[in-house]
């Protein structure tokens, strides 16, 4: 059998050695071979930086995000092929969906975020403008631009599809090409994934490269413009982080390592409560999905001391119904571990745990019933539940058996539960199963600093909860300490990890030109044509309209209070308003001011402006009194076309001033504006 090819420097390359065999986790049959002998990682990195990066950076965030959506749709059409291959890794159909559909879902999610939360530009404006001078002629603005390197990812064996895709998505939206180095055991599945990506021709050539086998001197060739993301053991993460070139060049390093995650059952639970059932169900799920080979799996289960026996028995009964065997069989609930070596690692870890715990279900050293499988050929173990009645002993808080293994331990009270949860010294996720808000607050606030994510599960959210072990692209995936100290995904934070944040100091006009977003103090353009009469293509940042002045009268204030029902004393009771130290007299409603401002700046005729769909960042800065004259200046602040739509979004800066030139209200108006040429 020839070794798998790697995809480097724009072409498939076969190594010049026979390679290491990879085996089917359930049958032991050889599936593929891997080797990197004769391949050149340095040339692959150079190719990514010099030939691929420039082309990616020419695309806007929206264009890159749109390509991700197309790719996600393409992969979804081929997911059944990936399911079939995934079974050879020991994964059941459910496990495969978790991995494959989950990874495709990340692509869809980042595509949506890129198009909705980022500009149709190549520069990202990060945060608000900072005034740096009294007259407003000198401003500061943080921007983010893509790093000019390659996003290198080194992945674990347990998620050969989701792992690469959840790292690829934010890097691609940011504008960085990716080089994937899959874990050996399941590299053949990642290999097919990359084949599907390359064959599709959807992404620009070279956006994804693949190195199947030992990374060799790959890390020696990283630069300060590259990023390195790792998923795997905490020990390997430490070695990569300390690599001389990674340290010397200041390579951005992100690690997501194994961790001793916990789940805590609240003291409000009783054996017949929904929370008791949810805790038991979730624990069994986390033990058996992917045969427990999940970095987010529950390793430590903390329960009130008085419920320890009931919980143990309930979990044991459920585990007794779990069918283990060939993952391609429809009856099987749990498949095999990745390979025999992983099975031996689980056995070694279990032996260490048994120094302070006792087995209450399962034994990997005793043959057990399998469905359509051979115990000697496949890397099978049963789900194993342990009980440790003295949670002060160190082993359950230090040893992780990366398989279907979890330990039940009792706690005394909320503070004790927090103390035990923190003994993991850094976890990816912890869950609290309770409907008692006081208990939840104590545990979450007490344990959060040692956890990257915390799930609260109870009768109120269980129907829609994604569960303890499901990282989501909108949220950070990572954790402190033992868990690696990194963050993956996390919405736009994941994109910004692959970009350089730079503080730019300049005059308003220069910043407007640089960011393509109108800055306070920058020039405005007032033309004979009202901005609301211009189609999207004809609008320019800085286009303005000035409306007013309009005098606000006492009768206006009275009628607005009567019409809306807002009869707050500052608008209706002269004596009480005069006693208010902030107002000193009757004032107009803030929303009356905003309503009058809208009447001053709108163009009433039917035209390109389709809808006002929002108002953001509203601040009332100076009270408006009866007799004041208000004027509004509306300026096109940001123009964002929507691809494959006949309209775009325009953000307008609204500044309402009084007769003394003081700003009484500032806010952003959001509109949808029609394109003159919808096909573009």
Which residues, at least 6 apart from 64, have a Cβ–Cβ distance to it below 8 Å? 56, 114, 172, 173, 175
Token code pair at residue 249: 């060049």
> For tokens 């096909």, what's the residue?
679
DSSP classification of residue 203? S
Query: Do the beta carbons of residue 326 and residue 373 sit within 8 Å?
Result: yes
Q: What is the Cα–Cα distance from 451 to 423, expressed in whole angstroms? A: 11
Q: Catalytic: which of 212, 262, 282, 295?
A: 295
Token code pair at residue 142: 């943080």
For 172, 367, 534, 550, the CA distances from 605, given in Å and listed in that order, are: 43, 80, 12, 21
Query: Do the beta carbons of residue 638 and residue 574 sit within 8 Å?
Result: no
**What DSSP string runs through 565-632?**
----HHHH-HHHHHH-TTTSS----HHHHHHHHHHHH---SSSSEEEEEEEEEEEE-S---TT-EEEE
What kind and span of H or E run contains 101? Answer: helix 93-117
Q: What is the Cα–Cα distance from 532 to 672, expressed in whole angstroms? A: 11
Strand partners, 408: 301, 387
Q: Does residue 295 carry a catalytic annotation?
A: yes
Token code pair at residue 82: 């990936």
Q: Catalytic: which of 166, 212, 256, 488?
A: 256
Q: What is the Cα–Cα distance from 568 to 560, expressed in whole angstroms? A: 11
DSSP classification of residue 51? I
Q: What is the Cα–Cα distance from 325 to 320, expressed in whole angstroms? A: 14
Query: What Rg value do the Cα atoms of the chain yield, rounded?
Result: 30
Strand residues in 445-515 grouped as ranges (E):
451-457, 476-477, 488-489, 499-506
Burial of 509 (0-12, 13-18, 19+ CB in 10 A): middle
Query: Do the beta carbons of residue 400 and residue 259 sit within 8 Å?
Result: yes
Closest to 290 measured CA to CA, from 99, 564, 572: 99
What kind and span of H or E run contains 413? Answer: none
For 225, 238, 395, 620, the CA distances from 252, given in Å and listed in that order, are: 8, 14, 33, 42
Q: How many CA atoms lie within 13 A of 30 on its CB side?
A: 10
CA 250 to chain centre: 24
At residue 86, the 3 state secondary structure works out as helix
> For tokens 């980042």, what's the residue?
110
Q: Does residue 262 carry a catalytic annotation?
A: no
Q: What is the Cα–Cα distance from 385 to 374, expressed in whole angstroms? A: 23
Q: What is the Cα–Cα distance from 289 to 298, expressed in whole angstroms? A: 11
Q: What is the Cα–Cα distance from 584 to 605, expressed in whole angstroms? A: 41
Q: What is the Cα–Cα distance from 167 to 165, expressed in whole angstroms? A: 5
Q: Quick one: CA dihedral 54, 55, 59, 65, positive or negative?
A: negative
Q: Annotated active-site positions, please?
A: 256, 295
């Amino acid at each position: 059998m020839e070794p798998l090819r790697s995809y480097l420097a724009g072409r498939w390359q076969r190594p010049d050695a026979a390679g290491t065999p990879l085996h089917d986790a359930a049958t032991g049959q050889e599936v593929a071979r891997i080797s990197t002998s004769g391949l050149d990682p340095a040339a692959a990195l150079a190719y990514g930086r010099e030939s691929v990066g420039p082309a990616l950076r020419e695309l806007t965030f929206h264009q890159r995000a749109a390509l991700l959506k197309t790719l996600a749709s393409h992969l979804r059409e081929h997911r059944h092929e990936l399911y079939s291959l995934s079974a050879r890794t020991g994964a059941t159909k459910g496990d495969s969906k978790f991995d494959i559909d989950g990874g495709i879902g990340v692509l869809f999610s980042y595509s949506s975020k890129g198009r909705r939360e980022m500009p149709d530009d190549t520069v990202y404006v990060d945060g608000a403008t900072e005034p740096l001078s009294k007259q407003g002629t000198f401003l500061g603005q943080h921007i983010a631009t893509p790093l000019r390197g390659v996003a290198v990812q080194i992945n674990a064996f347990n998620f050969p599809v989701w792992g690469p895709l959840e790292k690829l998505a934010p890097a691609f939206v940011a504008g960085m090409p990716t080089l994937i180095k899959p874990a050996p055991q399941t590299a053949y599945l990642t290999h097919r994934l990359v084949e599907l990506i390359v064959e599709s021709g959807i992404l620009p050539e070279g956006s994804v490269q693949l190195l199947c086998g030992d990374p060799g001197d790959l890390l020696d060739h990283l630069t300060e413009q590259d990023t390195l993301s790792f998923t795997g053991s905490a020990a390997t993460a430490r070695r990569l982080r300390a690599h001389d070139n990674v340290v010397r060049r200041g390579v951005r390093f992100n690690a997501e390592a194994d961790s001793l995650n916990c789940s805590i059952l609240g003291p409000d639970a009783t054996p017949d409560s929904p929370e008791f059932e949810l805790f038991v169900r979730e624990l069994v799920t986390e033990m058996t999905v992917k045969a427990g080979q999940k970095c987010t799996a529950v390793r430590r289960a903390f329960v009130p001391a008085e419920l320890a026996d009931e919980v143990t028995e309930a979990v044991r009964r459920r585990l007794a119904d779990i069918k283990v065997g060939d993952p391609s069989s429809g009856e099987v609930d749990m498949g095999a571990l990745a390979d025999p070596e992983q099975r031996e690692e689980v056995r070694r870890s279990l032996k260490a745990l048994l120094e302070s715990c006792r087995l209450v279900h399962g034994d990997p050293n005793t043959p057990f019933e399998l469905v359509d499988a051979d115990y000697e050929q496949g890397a099978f173990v049963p789900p194993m539940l342990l009980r440790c009645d003295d949670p002060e002993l160190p082993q359950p808080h230090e040893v992780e058996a990366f398989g279907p293994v979890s330990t039940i331990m009792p706690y005394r009270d909320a503070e004790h539960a927090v103390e035990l949860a923190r003994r993991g010294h850094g976890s990816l996720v912890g869950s609290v199963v309770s409907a008692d808000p006081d208990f939840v607050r104590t545990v979450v606030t007490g344990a959060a600093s040692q956890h990257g994510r915390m799930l609260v599960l109870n009768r109120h959210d269980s129907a829609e909860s994604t569960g303890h072990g499901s990282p989501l692209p909108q949220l950070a995936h990572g954790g402190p300490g033992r868990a690696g100290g990194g963050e993956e995904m996390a919405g736009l934070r994941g994109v910004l990890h692959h970009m350089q944040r730079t503080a730019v100091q300049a005059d308003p006009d220069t910043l407007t030109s640089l960011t393509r977003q109108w800055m306070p103090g920058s020039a405005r353009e007032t033309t004979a044509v009202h901005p609301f009469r211009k189609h999207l293509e004809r609008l320019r940042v800085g286009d303005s309209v000035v409306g007013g002045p309009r005098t606000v009268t006492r009768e206006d204030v009275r009628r607005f209070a009567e019409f809306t029902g807002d009869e707050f004393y500052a608008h209706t009771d002269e004596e009480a308003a005069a006693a208010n130290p902030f107002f000193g007299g009757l004032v107009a409603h803030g929303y009356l001011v905003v309503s009058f401002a809208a009447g001053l700046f709108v163009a009433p005729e039917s035209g390109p402006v389709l809808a006002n769909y929002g108002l953001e960042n509203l601040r009332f800065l100076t009270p408006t009194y009866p007799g004041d004259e208000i004027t509004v200046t509306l300026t096109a602040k940001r123009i964002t076309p929507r691809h494959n739509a006949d309209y775009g979004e325009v953000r307008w800066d609204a500044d309402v001033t009084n007769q003394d030139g003081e700003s009484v209200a500032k806010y952003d108006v959001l509109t949808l504006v029609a394109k003159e040429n919808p096909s573009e």
